Amino acid sequence: MDCECRTENMGPGPRSAALRGSVVMFALTLAAAVVMAQLGIPSAWRLGLFPPFFMAVYGASVALSGTCGFTAMRGMRNIDREERIVDPETLRETRREGLRLLATGAGAALALTLGLVAV
């Protein structure tokens, strides 16, 4: 059975905020990585960059896809105002897309973090 439902659960305002936040977080995280390297901080400490890298990558993917996994897990959407997703099939597909974005964000953040640890 094909689902013709849309998985977007974010309106333009939240999407814009997520994109701006992810750009700022990515820049701050890269700056922190450079400072850590310049100060000679052991590379194992760079593992602490995983959470901000995750926030940056996940924020960008949320903004570009229009689906927030955390909002989807609560069964909600925020287009003009926050409201419950009532259609079970739309809810299932939105949650599936949200989980995919969470997993992809975690994987990308892990790869970025391990790349910095290896340097």
C-beta atoms surrounding 101 within 10 Å:
22
The residue ranges of every structural domain in the chain are: 12-118
For 44-81, how does the pLDDT look when each residue is reduced to its tens digit (9 = 90+)? 999 999 999 999 999 999 999 999 999 999 999 998 88
For 8-42, how does the pLDDT look when each residue is reduced to its tens digit (9 = 90+)? 999 999 999 999 999 999 999 999 999 999 999 99
Q: Rounded to the nearest 10 degrees, how much is the dihedral formed by the CA atoms of 23, 25, 31, 34?
A: -110
**Predicted confidence band of residue 5 (pLDDT cuts 50, 70, 90):** low
Per DSSP, helices labelled H in 1-119 are 12-38, 50-65, 69-73, 88-118
pLDDT for position 57: 97
Contact of 10 with 71, CB cutoff 8 Å: yes
User: Taking 60 as the threshold, does the pLDDT of residue 95 lie above it?
Assistant: yes
